[in-house]
Amino acid sequence: MLSEEETIEIKKKIISQIEATFPAEQIAGARQQIEEMDSEEFEKFLEKNKILKNDEEPKNECVFCAISSGKIKSVQIAENKGAIAVLEINPISKGHLLIIAKVHEEKPQKEVASLAEKVSKLIQKKLKPKKIETSQSRLFGHEVLNLLPVYENENFNSERKHSTVEELEKVKEELTKKAEKKPKNKIEVIKEKLWLPKRIP
């Protein structure tokens, strides 16, 4: 049985996903349906959609497990053996993302910190914020790290803006696009192709 806090948090995440992935004309109805469910109806809905496993299976799956396993759609930027980096669906700033541990464990996992370091460098290089704020939390017993690029004076209490999947995909492209090599000038090409015998004294 989910606690009231967990129900509110999961509903919030599912509504975010609905707003990001549903056709515009279906969003309001789907959102209302989720909001009006009581705890029991909501748990049945989660089980039916395989977001929460039923009692025959020993472990209930949290919303972050569902994201890391791909059951809940997300825009992924990078991953390593133990963590994934996904763009926040309701970002505070451009490039705001979550590092989610792949395994549901109580102890901190070094892969989360290592991926956060790698992705921070990527954000700094591609989006050039003043700095990157981090906030570590444990929701439903799952390790999650927030990375927030600061361009002006944003912080974790700043207003969040809803992003569509298309908008997030554009940010992903900006972050993961490789720099194009500059074409060599004609003199460099000629030098490479030109072969001269060694001068005999």
Residue 41 lies in a domain: yes
CATH of the domain at 138: 3.30.428.10
Residue 192 lies in a domain: no
Are 55 and 101 members of one domain? Answer: no
Residue 189 lies in a domain: no
Q: What integer is the mean pLDDT of 37-50?
A: 78
Residue 186 lies in a domain: no
Residue 53 has pLDDT above 70, yes or no: no
Are 76 and 174 members of one domain? Answer: yes
Are 121 and 36 members of one domain? Answer: no
* 3-class secondary structure per residue, the chain: CCCHHHHHHHHHHHHHHHHHHCCHHHHHHHHHHHHHCCHHHHHHHHHHCCCCCCCCCCCCCCHHHHHHCCCCCCCEEEECCCEEEEECCCCCCCCCEEEEECCCCCCCCHHHHHHHHHHHHHHHHHHCCCEEEEEEEEECCEEEEEEEEECCCCCCCCCCCCCCHHHHHHHHHHHHCCCCCCCCCHHHHHHHHCCCCCCCC
Give Cα 107 distance to the centre of its chain.
21
- The residue that leads in pLDDT, 120 or 195, is 120
Residue 196 lies in a domain: no
Residue 198 lies in a domain: no
- Look at residues 40, 61, 82 and tell me which one is the last residue of a structural domain: 61
Q: How many domains does the chain have?
A: 2
pLDDT grade for 195, boundaries at 50, 70 and 90: low
For 149-180, how does the pLDDT look when each residue is reduced to its tens digit (9 = 90+)? 999 999 988 998 888 889 999 999 999 887 65
CA-CA distance, 96 to 123, in Å (whole number)? 9
Are 77 and 55 members of one domain? Answer: no
For 102-150, how does the pLDDT look when each residue is reduced to its tens digit (9 = 90+)? 888 767 789 999 999 999 999 999 999 999 999 888 776 788 899 999 9
Are 24 and 93 members of one domain? Answer: no
Predicted local confidence at residue 137, as pLDDT: 80
Are 108 and 80 members of one domain? Answer: yes
Q: By C-alpha distance, which of 125, 133, 102, 129 is closest to 115? A: 102
- What are the CA-CA distances from residue 164 to residues 19, 107, 201 (Å)? 7, 33, 71
For 15-36, how does the pLDDT look when each residue is reduced to its tens digit (9 = 90+)? 877 776 666 777 788 888 888 8
Give Cα 40 distance to the centre of its chain.
29
Residue 66 lies in a domain: no
Question: Where in the sequence is the domain holding 108, given as residue range(s)?
Answer: 71-178
Are 159 and 84 members of one domain? Answer: yes
Residue 199 lies in a domain: no
160 neighbors 92 (Cβ within 8 angstroms): yes
